[in-house]
Amino acid sequence: MKHKKSKITLMLLIAVALVAATTVENANPTYSLEEAVIPVPIYGQQTNMWCWAASSQMVLAYMGDTVQQCEEANWHLNRKDCCDPNEIKNGSPCAKGGSPTFQHYGYDYSLLRSCEGLPWDTIVNLGNTNSAWAYAWAHVNTSQPKDTLCNQPVSGGHVMVGRGYKQLVVTTGATIDTLKYVVINNPMPVNEGTYAYYLYEYYGSFPYGTKPNVHAADYYNIYKAPNN
Amino acid sequence: MKITIKYSIILCTMLALGCTEEVANETQPEETPLTTGLSSDSTAELALSYFAHMITATDYELMGFQRMSQLDSLALIGPPMVSFALTSKGIANNNAPTLTQDTVQVVYQVGVEGDTIPNCQMELIYAENTWYVVSLGNAGEASAIATARLRHAQKHQRPASDYFLVDAPEMYTRFIGYYNEDELMLIPLQDQPQYGLAKTVPVAYSNIAPTLLDAMTNMPEALVKVP
């Protein structure tokens, strides 16, 4: 009798274990989202060279200042004709590269030059404090390993705007996967611009073509300088 | 020229359709994304369920959707498009677009089940035995690519799987590519009159290559200057 009871108990235990294992295997995933998306307007760059001007325009508009990309080009190139409609086009002498114009409009910022971009915690903090930022990645003129490229001459690149983050934790049984995405405004395509999530690990050097791309810099903690 | 890209397409298609699973299962690091070991198709399908929980009332319109309820029936729209790179070096060496050096990129269009035009798109790259969804969004480009592909495919009675993407990173330009018999053709996605490119009007690669090479090698100066 005692032997029979033990046998039943053992079978019950096995059955419970099997059910438990199956439950874990087939467990429906649960999702937990943490996010911050700042209302930064999207402006498309007006020539294929004006990503820097459009990104500045987006951040400044969010901060309350209205600027035109052609005005930024006038200032940056020391010209007066860039707001002529005939000059706002690809191939124009005004369609040249540049860098964000925050200081010209009375703003100061922190600048981080790095291969990796901002730490995730900083991006979360910027999002949670309603702070937009601009960042640049660059092509470089060499085929060296990417982690040695940060201070190489830049042969091209792109500027975009960070406007928040999305962090999704997916729990499936005993497995946890954390997805970290940076929310961005891209001034491309020309005259349109676009909104997207970029995987955090790639936000600073989005793979695009055969040239080595590296993260170049983040312009963050942007604020109106006191005497402006 | 044709052999290079067609062979690459076969390779990419094999990768995209699941030939990576065996390789991916061989070496799994301790901490792995849930996409490790999956094909690009499976990764994209899994990502749909993630993104349905990531897109919120804050930004569903920015992602190209009209109603939140559309997120309940997200689907991949049409066959994925492998992305190839067209560089000045490649053109100078008289090569057709080739695979990127260390990544394989595939673009999936994302929309509502039953629709033919997507709301946005996701871009996957293959690295370290895993497919990663590196971006989601780009609603305008997704619509432009899908519309151009659909119109051309219907007009010429070609399957949508005939088309791929050709990226020219030095001039920040993306084309749709396809073969017309032996001729590589490029469909521009934007007007660039200075290069003789008109939106959605196909041009033969052999005809436009010298212009593209000239444009790439004579870009006025770096697009971005970091202080």
Q: For residues B133 and B124, is the Cβ–Cβ distance under 8 A? A: yes
pLDDT at B207: 94
Mean pLDDT in residue range B114-122: 94
CA A17 to chain centre: 45
- Please tell me the distance in Å from A6's CA to the nearest CA on chain B: 39
pLDDT greater at residue B14 or residue B90: B90
- What's the rounded Cα separation, in Å, for the pair A79 and B225? 18
Q: Of the ranges A7-11, A19-23, A175-179, which one carries the lowest mean pLDDT score?
A: A19-23
Burial class (CB in 10 A: 0-12, 13-18, 19+), A12: exposed
Confidence of residue A104 (pLDDT cuts 50, 70, 90): very high
pLDDT at B125: 87
pLDDT at A188: 87
Q: Averaging pLDDT over each range in A206-215, B98-107, B164-173, which range is the top one?
A: B164-173
For B169-181, write each residue's pLDDT tens digit.
Answer: 777 788 999 999 8
**Option in A91, A155, A199 nearest B132 (CB):** A199
- What's the rounded Cα separation, in Å, for the pair A187 and A37? 17
- What's the rounded Cα separation, in Å, for the pair B138 and A160? 13
**Option in B62, B133, B222 nearest A97 (CB):** B222
- Hey, what amino acid is at A185? N
Mean pLDDT in residue range B141-161: 94
pLDDT at A153: 56
Q: What ipTM was reported for this prediction?
A: 0.81
Residues 3-62 of A with CB under 8 A from B: 29, 31, 33, 35, 37, 42, 48-49, 51-52
The torsion defined by the Cα of A182, B64, B56 and A218, in degrees rounded to 10, comes to 20
Q: Of the ranges A75-79, A96-100, A154-158, B162-166, which one carries the lowest mean pLDDT score?
A: A154-158
Q: Of the ranges A210-214, B43-47, B204-208, which one carries the lowest mean pLDDT score?
A: A210-214
pLDDT greater at residue A9 or residue B17: A9
**Option in B85, B90, B223 nearest A156 (CB):** B223
Mean pLDDT in residue range A85-109: 90
pLDDT greater at residue A105 or residue A147: A105
- What's the rounded Cα separation, in Å, for the pair A111 and A2? 76
A199 CB neighbours in chain B (<8 A) are 132-135
pLDDT at B6: 43
Mean pLDDT in residue range A119-148: 80
- Please tell me the distance in Å from A135's CA to the nearest CA on chain B: 10
Please provide the average confidence, as pLDDT, over all residues in chain B.
80
pLDDT at B3: 35
Confidence of residue B5 (pLDDT cuts 50, 70, 90): very low
Inter-chain residue contact A196 with B136, CB threshold 8 Å: yes
Is the pTM higher than 0.80? The answer reads yes
- Please tell me the distance in Å from B180's CA to the nearest CA on chain A: 24
Q: For residues B222 and A97, is the Cβ–Cβ distance under 8 A? A: yes
Q: Does A177 touch chain B (CB under 8 A)?
A: yes
pLDDT at B172: 76
Q: Which candidate in A197, A213, A214 is best for mutational testing of the B interface (most B CBs within 10 A)? A: A197
The closest of A121, A99, A123 to A184, measured between CA atoms, is A123
